[in-house]
Amino acid sequence: MNILILTTHLNFGGISSYVFNLARELKKNGDNVFVGSSGGDLKKELLNLGIEHIDLNIRTKSELSPKIILSFFTLKRAIFEKNIQIIHAQTRVTQVLAYLLNRFLGVPYVSTCHGYFRPRRLRKIFGCWGNRVIAISEAVSKHLIDDFKLSSEKVKLVYNGIRVKRRAEFNQKQLRHKFGLKDAPVAGIVARLSPVKGHKYLLEAMRYVTSTRVDAQLLIVGDGPSKQELVNLTEKFNLKENLIFIPSRGNLEEIFALMNVYVSPSLQEGLGLSVLEAMANYVPVAAYASGGIKDIIKHEINGLLVEPFAVKDLAGAILRLIIDEELASSIKEAAYNFVKEKFSAEKMAQETIEVYKEALG
């Protein structure tokens, strides 16, 4: 099958990771995969896998941007030259682009909904969802059916998949020195620094954690508009000695190897790719029970859940996983096995291929 995957960019983040994992597995399956985007951090890695990238000037959030029309003409030629059979759009802008390509060239397309859309009028009237819509969690599937009135036959649940392998071994002393960490418990989060990810609630929770464990540390990995606000809160809560910020990065094995606990205080999460990554790297997770996180975490079996905004409860969950080594060990083993069985990249690719076949059917 000749498949064109469209996304706005390939900078580090959930959608880019999804595109990379899916493209890699589809290629391993024997399909011809092409990725169209404005480029970014993962472009080189795709090229190293032998996956062709089509350069587009599509870095925009506006579904009415002239960049969509320019990209249309770039892709029109590529679709004929490469005999593209199906298009897979990942963002609202690329959904609109795929709709135009479908309308004028007749190529079927699928879109993946990675989270929650505001039910704006334009989006309701011109959904541009495609022949099929992939929802990455039960919560997102319900959102599409309830808020956008899509038929349950059109919406297909395919969980995000990740590459699952045994946790790499590192020299902890050297690793902690590299990142400026002390020999003390580390809680961590990998997420874009934006309000919806709930970093400020994690900082509040760390106030309570450090009142019990003065030496506890917090590792925040990511970039985004909330950086300065979080820096200010760090000073306000007297956490400057306990917190380290690290910019977004690709390979996270070293980061996860440092963590005793992974924390997800997100208020609205489509599924939680970084949570899956943590679980696959043997890091026990404490999380707010929001959105698709409830599809992943089973409380006290493969993680700990607390209600959103319950800062003291979140602090309590972090402390439990730091102090109770037996609980932490049981949870991380169950989490690894759960991800390996339910959320592998291979499983995601096979189920996505079945969606493509339905769209082509």
Angle at 340 between CA 338 and CA 348, to 5 degrees: 110
> What is the pTM assigned to this prediction?
0.89
For the chain, the average pLDDT equals 94
Asked if residues 134 and 249 have their Cβ atoms less than 8 Å apart, the reply is no
Q: Is the pLDDT of residue 233 over 90?
A: yes
Model pLDDT, residue 126: 81
Residue 126 makes CB contacts below 8 A (sequence gap 6+) with 96, 99
Asked if residues 307 and 313 have their Cβ atoms less than 8 Å apart, the reply is yes
pLDDT band at 299 (very low <50, low <70, confident <90, very high): very high
Mean pLDDT of 315-322: 98
Asked if residues 10 and 101 have their Cβ atoms less than 8 Å apart, the reply is no
Residue 132 makes CB contacts below 8 A (sequence gap 6+) with 110, 154, 155, 156, 355, 358, 359
Q: Is the pLDDT of residue 124 over 80?
A: no
Residue 5 CA, chain-centre distance (Å), reads 17
pLDDT band at 120 (very low <50, low <70, confident <90, very high): confident
Q: Is the pLDDT of residue 196 over 90?
A: yes
**What percent of the chain has pLDDT above 70?**
100
pLDDT band at 125 (very low <50, low <70, confident <90, very high): confident
Asked if residues 167 and 198 have their Cβ atoms less than 8 Å apart, the reply is no
Mean pLDDT of 229-241: 95
Per-residue pLDDT tens digits for 239-264? 999 999 999 887 899 999 999 999 99
Q: Is the pLDDT of residue 122 over 90?
A: no
Pairing status of strand 304-306 against strand 109-113: unpaired
Mean pLDDT of 213-219: 96
Per-residue pLDDT tens digits for 64-114? 899 999 999 999 999 999 999 999 999 999 999 999 999 999 999 999 999
C-alpha to C-alpha distance for 321 and 283, rounded to whole angstroms: 10
Model pLDDT, residue 100: 97
Per-residue pLDDT tens digits for 151-188? 999 999 999 999 887 777 788 899 999 999 999 999 99
Model pLDDT, residue 361: 86
Mean pLDDT of 35-44: 96
N-to-C CA span, the chain: 13
Model pLDDT, residue 344: 92
